Amino acid sequence: MEQAVLAQLLTGADVSFYEEKLSEDNVNLAKDAEIISVFVNSEISKDIIDALPNLKFIATRSTGFDHIDIDYCGTKRIKVSNVPAYGSYTVAEFAFALLLNLSRKIYGAYHNLREGADFNIFSLQGFDLKGKTIGVIGTGKIGKNVVKIAKGFSMNVLAFDPYPDMNFAKENNFEYKSLAEIVSQSDVITLHAPYTKENYHLINKENISKMKKGVYLINTARGELVDTDALILGLKEGIIAGAGLDVLEGERELKEEIEILSFPEKAERIKDYKTLLEDRVLIDMPNVIVTPHIAFYSKEAEEEIIKMTADNIKGFISNVPINLVK
């Protein structure tokens, strides 16, 4: 669908489509391109940029742009655009899909029944969301929708954001608190903040040690917001009762792991084998649900992404660029 719709929206442009992500191995496919459009699994490094001598514009089909060397693009006068808002309902709904799976042990129940025809319910007691305190970190469009859904479950809502929307808080009857207060008072913590240098390991060993014992952590934002080593320690010590993760620290490298098994010469590209190993540990933990970065992936959200990406490209071609991040 994506290819057909983009081709229709970009009528008149010379457009080529490739299913594989852009990498150093296939960058030659785009060697003459003035514009490229990528997703988060394509790491646009200095070396890739240098291999594209005609490149003038990068349109990423995502809100985040940490997969692109933005500073180096600036030195080469390459413009970069993103899709600043899409799937705000989609991702918020998925956060609760993860939370409900954890709170009611749905995956475990299904696994027991399917694998062993086990109808024993005594290990499957869950808990109600009603009356629990949820800490929402980041109240952009997605975080705001999470607040509204939480209110629908009769949860108590606390939120942290460096730029609080006090009118929204008043309208929806919740309080903004400091990060330390969110960490110590919440039964559930859900992350909806962007990944920036300042937010790297926002959830770390120090603040995990101050969390309520039995807290649940949901992350549908960026893997790098959470210190993986500290998360595993928190889970093993029982501070964190469970985690729902649609993103993992170093997930781009994790997705390349199958390539490493097939082509060992690529192994030198992996930056942090320790994180890869820790990701594997998380995936195997019974109180952790990991999904492959699909929170954004609904029919409606994909339509938003495609349209905005096409608008960004057409804007650049007509010298009226929109949604520029650089």
Residues annotated catalytic, as ranges: 222, 251, 293
Model pLDDT for residues 276-314, shown as the tens digit of each residue: 777 788 989 999 999 999 999 999 998 899 999 999 999
Assess if residue 322 is contained within a domain. Answer: no
Contact 91, 296 (CB under 8 A): yes
Q: Are residues 254 and 136 both part of a single domain?
A: yes
Assess if residue 326 is contained within a domain. Answer: no
DSSP annotation string for 114-153 = HHH-----TT-----STT-EEEEE--SHHHHHHHHHHHHT
Q: What is the CATH number of the domain that holds 27?
A: 3.40.50.720
Q: Are residues 169 and 72 both part of a single domain?
A: no
Q: Are residues 140 and 284 both part of a single domain?
A: yes
Assess if residue 12 is contained within a domain. Answer: yes
pTM of the predicted model, to two decimals? 0.84
Q: Are residues 57 and 142 both part of a single domain?
A: no
Q: Are residues 161 and 258 both part of a single domain?
A: yes
Assess if residue 191 is contained within a domain. Answer: yes
Instruction: Residue 49: give the domain boundaries.
Output: 2-86+299-317
Model pLDDT for residues 220-265, shown as the tens digit of each residue: 999 999 999 999 999 999 999 999 999 999 886 666 544 544 444 4
Q: Are residues 152 and 232 both part of a single domain?
A: yes
| Local structure of residue 244 (DSSP, 8 states) | E
Q: Are residues 213 and 100 both part of a single domain?
A: yes
Percent above pLDDT 70 for the chain: 90
d(CA 33, CA 36): 7
Q: Are residues 181 and 275 both part of a single domain?
A: yes
User: CA of 140: how far to CAs of 84, 86, 163, 213, 230, in Å?
Assistant: 11, 12, 9, 28, 26
Q: How would you label 196-218 residue by residue, b for 16+ Cβ within 10 Å and e otherwise?
A: eeebebbbbeebbeebbeebbbb
Count of structural domains within the chain: 2
Q: Are residues 79 and 156 both part of a single domain?
A: no
Assess if residue 324 is contained within a domain. Answer: no
Assess if residue 325 is contained within a domain. Answer: no
Q: Are residues 49 and 167 both part of a single domain?
A: no
- The three-class DSSP label of residue 57 is strand
Centre a 10 Å sphere on the Cβ of residue 315 and count the other Cβ atoms it contains: 17
Q: Are residues 176 and 44 both part of a single domain?
A: no
Predicted confidence (pLDDT) at residue 162 exceeds the cutoff of 60: yes
Q: Are residues 231 and 308 both part of a single domain?
A: no
Predicted confidence (pLDDT) at residue 170 exceeds the cutoff of 80: yes
Model pLDDT for residues 9-30, shown as the tens digit of each residue: 676 677 888 988 899 999 999 9
Q: CB neighbours of 319 closer than 8 A, spacing ≥ 6?
A: none
